[in-house]
Amino acid sequence: MNAVIEEGILRVRKQPEKSVFTLTISGGSAFSGETISKLKEVARENTPYVKAGAIVGVTDLYKVVFNAVSMFSKRRFYLFYAVDEAMVFWRIIRIEACGKKTLARGIS
């Protein structure tokens, strides 16, 4: 999992500040203490580059992990049950970024 995280770091930090919409698909993964620490660090250090972050497939156990990451990084993550829901959300967010009025709502 850490190799996937490292690839994400490289891709995000090559982009202009506040321009990246992240989509994390969780589930089926085991989080070690080391991985959780790495997620917190990455979320905090990616903050300047990320406009918004969505996470798909978060079970109750993983909500605890991502809430800790959110609190540590001082970032808000939008949680969704399915990739399709997150993709609709991104379309709405991009429309809003272009100055059009639309309502976007994440699942908490």
In a domain, 106, yes or no: no
Q: Whole-number mean pLDDT of the chain?
A: 82
In a domain, 8, yes or no: yes
Number of domains in the chain: 1
Proportion of the chain above pLDDT 70, given as a percent = 86
In a domain, 104, yes or no: no
What is residue 54's three-state secondary structure? strand
> According to the model, what pLDDT value does residue 37 have?
86
Residues 19, 51 contacting (CB under 8 angstroms): yes
| Structural domain boundaries, residue 14 | 2-97
Residue 10: pLDDT over 60: yes
> According to the model, what pLDDT value does residue 15 have?
94
Residue 31: pLDDT over 80: no
User: Residue 47's domain is classified under what CATH number?
Assistant: 3.40.50
In a domain, 9, yes or no: yes
Residue 6: pLDDT over 80: yes
In a domain, 102, yes or no: no
